[in-house]
Structure 1
Amino acid sequence: MLDTASGAVSATLLTRDRDLGSRAAYPGLSGTWVRRGRTKVFYLGVRHPAHWLTLWRSLRSARFDLLYVNSVWSVFSILPIAATRLGLLRADRILVAPRGEFGSAALALHRARKRMFLAGWRWMLRGPRVLWHATGPQEVADIRGVLPRARIGVVAIGVGPEPRPAPADPPPADPPRLVFIGRISPMKNLDLVLAALAHVRARVRLDIYGPVEDARYWQRCEQLWSALPDPSVVSYRGELRPDQVGETFARYDASVQPTRGENFGNAIAESLAACCPVICSDRTPWTAVLRDGGGQVLTELTPVALGALVTRLAATSPEQRQAARAAAGEAYRRWWLDRPRISVLDQAWQAVSAPACRVPPQGRPS
C-alpha cells in the first residue's frame, strides 16, 4: 500500500516488532525508526515501556492529515483512535478499515465480548472526523449494519499480486495435491476441510501452512485429522515467509479456502496469481473470478458439499489439472488488468480533501 502511493503521500507507519504469534522480534528493528522511501516505520515492542516513550516523544509534536487504522478490535487501532479523540495525537481525520470484522460470520465469533466492546466504544467511531474504508457494497452494508450513520470515505478492494506465468510442465500423475495457506483460526474454516476429507474416497493429499492463531481451534483440527481413515494424507508444514507464498501455491493443483467470509482474501489472490485454482466459499469478492475459470465455488459450508468438490477434482487427469491451472491464471490476469491503479492512501487523501464525500447506502460512490 505504501509503495504504490503517489508522491503526494508521506506516511508514518507504526507496527509490531514481530510476526503474528511469534515470540522473537525482527533482528535489529525492535524499538527503532526505519526510513523506507517517504515512509518512516517504527517497530514497537508492546511490552517495552521505553518503546512507548520513544514513540510518544516522536509523535507528540507532529500533525497528521489522516490517521489510518486496520481493524476495529486491535490495540493498534484502539489506542491511536482514543489518543486522537482525546487530543493526545493530532490528526485531522480518522480512516478505519474493519477488514471484514463487521461481517455477520466475524461478528458471530465472540459475539458477547464484541457487543460489550461496541457498547462502550461506539461513540469513538462516530462523528464527521471518522471515515470508513470498505472494500465493496457488501462491506458498506456490513459497516452500516453496525453504525447506520457511518461515513464511507473509501470504497476500494485490494489490487493483488502481479500474475505469474502458468507452469510449463504438467503435474505428475500422482494424487491431486491440495494446499491450505492461511491463519489457523475459525474464520478460515480449516476444520471444514479436514471434515470434508472423510467424505472423499479418491486419493488426494493436503498440505497445511500457516500460523496457529487459535490453539484450541487447532486442537479441534488435529482431532478431525487423526480421525481420518488415512491421516497420512494430511501434513502440517509450518509457516511461510511472505516471499514463499506464491512459489508454494504454484506447486499445487488447487488451494482450498472455505472461509466464513473475507472482505478481500489475500490468500485467494496469491493462489490465483500463481495459477493455482481455488476451491472457495461464496462469501468473498472472488466468486465471479472463480466462475470465470479461477476455480470452484462452494455454496454450502458443509463437509459433504466440500467433499463432493474435492472428489470431482480427484477424478481429473493430469492434463485436465494442468488446463485448470492455466485457466485460473488467465481468469486472475483478466481481473488484475481491470483493477484501478490508484492506491487506497491516495483515495483517502481525496476523501480528506473533499470532506462532504459520502457513499450512499447501495455502495455507489457519489
Structure 2
Amino acid sequence: MSEGTYPQALGGVSVWCDQLVHGLPEHRWEAIALTIDGNETVRWELPANLERVIAIPLWSAEPRRPRVRRPGRATRTMFHAALDAFLAALVTVPEPDPQRGAVQRSRFLTALRGLYEYAADGGDVAGALRSNAALGRLQDRWGEADKGRLTLADAAHATGLIGNMLRPLSVPPPRADVVHCAMNGLSTLVAMAAKWEYETPMLISEHGVYLRERYLEQVGGELPHAVAALLLAFQRGLAGAAYQFADALAPHSAYNRRWQLQNGADPDRMWTMYNGISPELFPSARTEPDEPTIVYVGRIDPLKDLHTLIRAFARVRARVPDARLRIYGAAIDLRYRDSCRALIEGLGLANSARMEGSAPDAVAAYHSGNVVALTSISEGFPYSVIEAMACGRTMVCTNVGGVSEAVGDTGFVVAPRDPAAVADACVTLLLDPALRRDMAARARQRVLDRFTLAQSLDAYRSLYERLIVPTALGARGPAAALR
C-alpha cells in the first residue's frame, strides 16, 4: 500500500516497492496506490507475480462508488458517537504521558472504526463531515478547547480536505495474508479496514517519518492557521493510531524507530530494516573528473534543500575557483526548481553550476563527481547515499533521518541548513585526494557489509513468515498486498 508512489511514480519508495515484488517471486502481490485522480500512468514494468494494481483516487471530482449496503452494521447512534469522538480528537492536545497518550490513540482508532462501519453500511463519510451538524459541532469543540473562534469557512475547508483523505475507508478492503504499508499515513486506512474486516496482519514500513514531513510541509505553508492545525491533528492522530494498531513495524533506520516509539509504537513489534542495493549494478569508479566536481542526484524538491547546497557551493568556489556543481534530478515542484535556477544566477554561479535534469544513467551521474552531496532537511534511509557509496564516491550529507547510519565514518555528516559546514566538508575532500579516496573505498566496503539487496529481502521474507497465519487464503500460496 503506497501513497503517491509505486507504480505511478519514481523515487526511493517506488524503488523499494519494486525490489520487494521482483525480489520475492514466491509471493503473489496486489499493489494498492492512493493517487490524485486515478488517471496516473503506471511507470514501472510490472512482474507476473504482481496480479493487480488498484488505484484509490483521493482528489477526483467524483468519489468512488459507495460500498454495497449491509444493513445493521452501524446504527445511526453509533455513527454519531464515532463522528463526535473524531471531531473532538481534532481539537485535543496530544498527551505527553505515555499511558494517557495510549488511551488517546485508542479513542481515535475507535472513532475511525466507527467511520469505517458507517462507510461499510453505505454511508458517505465525507458528506457527513461536511454536514451542517458536523461543522457546527466542530466549531463548538474548537471553542470548548479555548482555541478562539473557528470560522465556518475554515471548518468547511478542513473537513473537506479530511473527508477526501478518508476515502480509503469507503473502498472494500483487500483479502490478503499480509497488508504491507510502505509508509504511515493515509495508506494505513486500507490496512486498518482489512484488519477490522478479515483480521489481516498489518505491517508498516517507513522510509521518511511521515508525520515529521507533514509538519515540515506546513512551515511557511499557504493554509489558514486553523485549517493547518486541524489537518495536522488528523494526521498526528492517524499516525499514532496506526503505530499502535499495527502487528509489526519495520522502520528503515534507528532514527525512524525513535520517532515511532515517541508516537506510541511497541518496541516488541519493531524490526529495523535498512534499504539495500545490488552492488554489482553500482560499480566503483576507476577515475575522477578533470575538474573538482560536486554532484547531487535526487529529486528537485524542497525537502532536499538544494538552496543550502547552492549557497554552500558559492563558498566552495571562493576557495576552489575551478570547482563545479552538477545537480541531477526530475523536478517534483516546478516553482522550487525555478527558485534554484534563480539562486544560481543571483549568486553568479551560472558558469559553474548546472541543473542537468533527470539522470538517465545514475551510475554515470555519481561517477561524474569527486564528491556526492545531499543537503536534505528530511530523509529516511536514502538509496542515493548507498548507491553513491557503492560507486566509490565520498558523501557530504546533512544529519537527518538514517543518513548518518548509512554513512558512518566514511563521509562527512553535518547539520542541516548550514551552508558553511557543507562547504567546509566539500573543500576538505576536494583538496585532499588521499583522504577522499580512502573514505570512498571504505564507503563501498560498508555497503557490501551492511546494505545489500539480498540482506534486505531476506529480512522481509523472514518477517512475512512471522506474520502469515495459515488460512484458506494461504492454501493458494503466500499473498501480500502492498499498500
- Which bracket does the TM-score occupy, shorter chain normalised? 0.7 to 0.9
Q: 1:94 aligns with which of 202, 211, 220?
A: 202
Which residue matches 1:84?
194
Matches within 5 A, 1:192-207: 192-200=308-316, 201=318, 202=320, 203-207=322-326
C-alpha displacement of 1:150: 7.7
Measure, in 2, the Cα distance between the counterparts of 1:235 and 1:120.
42
Is the alpha carbon distance of 1:216 and 1:344 closer, same or farther for their aligned partners in structure 2, counting shifts above 3 Å? farther
Say if 2:345 is the partner of 1:226. yes
Q: Is the 8 A contact 2:279 2:452 kept in 1?
A: no
C-alpha displacement of 1:285: 3.2
Q: 1:263 aligns with which of 355, 380, 388?
A: 380
CA deviation vs aligned residue, 1:134-175 (integer Å, no higher than 9, x gap): 12433222012223558734321112232544333x324x32
Q: Is the 8 A contact 2:373 2:395 kept in 1?
A: yes
Structure 1 residue runs without a partner (length 5+)? 355-366
Measure, in 1, the Cα distance between the counterparts of 2:294 and 2:184.
33
C-alpha displacement of 1:6: 6.7
Could you say what secondary structure the match of 1:109 adopts? helix
Paired residue type of 1:333: L
Q: Is the 8 A contact 1:64 1:92 kept in 2?
A: yes
Which residue matches 2:356?
237
Measure, in 2, the Cα distance between the counterparts of 1:62 and 1:96.
16
Measure, in 2, the Cα distance between the counterparts of 1:81 and 1:217.
34
Measure, in 2, the Cα distance between the counterparts of 1:159 and 1:215.
30
Paired residue type of 1:66: V
Measure, in 2, the Cα distance between the counterparts of 1:68 and 1:178.
37
CA deviation vs aligned residue, 1:235-292 (integer Å, no higher than 9, x gap): 1121235xx2233212321211122233211111111122222111233434365354
Which residue matches 2:23?
4
Which residue matches 2:31?
13
Could you say what secondary structure the match of 1:256 adopts? strand
Which residue matches 2:41?
25
Q: Is the 8 A contact 2:385 2:407 kept in 1?
A: no
| Structure ranking higher in helix proportion | 2
C-alpha displacement of 1:212: 1.9
Q: 2:296 aligns with which of 166, 169, 180?
A: 180
Measure, in 1, the Cα distance between the counterparts of 2:193 and 2:293.
49
Measure, in 2, the Cα distance between the counterparts of 1:106 and 1:79.
17
Paired residue type of 2:342: Q
Measure, in 1, the Cα distance between the counterparts of 2:337 and 2:268.
38
Paired residue type of 1:208: I
Q: Is the 8 A contact 1:154 1:344 kept in 2?
A: no
C-alpha displacement of 1:341: 5.1
Paired residue type of 2:313: L
Q: Is the 8 A contact 1:176 1:313 kept in 2?
A: no
Measure, in 2, the Cα distance between the counterparts of 1:136 and 1:291.
13
Could you say what secondary structure the match of 1:92 adopts? coil
Which residue matches 1:42?
53
Paired residue type of 1:36: P
> Which deviates more, 127-136 or 248-257?
127-136
Is the alpha carbon distance of 1:158 and 1:336 closer, same or farther for their aligned partners in structure 2, counting shifts above 3 Å? closer
C-alpha displacement of 1:347: 3.6
Paired residue type of 2:194: T
Tell me how large the CA RMSD over aligned residues is.
Answer: 3.9
| Structure ranking higher in strand proportion | 1
Measure, in 2, the Cα distance between the counterparts of 1:270 and 1:278.
11
Q: 2:285 aligns with which of 129, 142, 167?
A: 167
Is the alpha carbon distance of 1:82 and 1:350 closer, same or farther for their aligned partners in structure 2, counting shifts above 3 Å? closer
Q: Report the number of matched residues.
A: 330
Could you say what secondary structure the match of 2:357 adopts? coil
TM-score normalised per structure 2? 0.58
Could you say what secondary structure the match of 2:177 adopts? strand
Say if 2:180 is the partner of 1:68. yes
Measure, in 2, the Cα distance between the counterparts of 1:25 and 1:278.
34
Is the alpha carbon distance of 1:42 and 1:49 closer, same or farther for their aligned partners in structure 2, counting shifts above 3 Å? farther
Is the alpha carbon distance of 1:287 and 1:141 closer, same or farther for their aligned partners in structure 2, counting shifts above 3 Å? closer
Is the alpha carbon distance of 1:275 and 1:229 closer, same or farther for their aligned partners in structure 2, counting shifts above 3 Å? same
Measure, in 2, the Cα distance between the counterparts of 1:139 and 1:2.
23
Which residue matches 1:296?
412
Is the alpha carbon distance of 1:286 and 1:61 closer, same or farther for their aligned partners in structure 2, counting shifts above 3 Å? closer
Paired residue type of 1:257: L
Is the alpha carbon distance of 1:327 and 1:153 closer, same or farther for their aligned partners in structure 2, counting shifts above 3 Å? closer
Which residue matches 1:333?
448
Could you say what secondary structure the match of 1:310 adopts? helix
Q: 1:247 aligns with which of 364, 369, 377?
A: 364
Q: Is the 8 A contact 1:135 1:156 kept in 2?
A: yes
C-alpha displacement of 1:118: 2.6
Is the alpha carbon distance of 1:321 and 1:171 closer, same or farther for their aligned partners in structure 2, counting shifts above 3 Å? farther
Quote the sequence identity (%). 15
Structure 2 residue runs without a partner (length 5+)? 1-19, 69-170, 220-227, 470-483
Which residue matches 2:262?
145
Is the alpha carbon distance of 1:148 and 1:43 closer, same or farther for their aligned partners in structure 2, counting shifts above 3 Å? closer
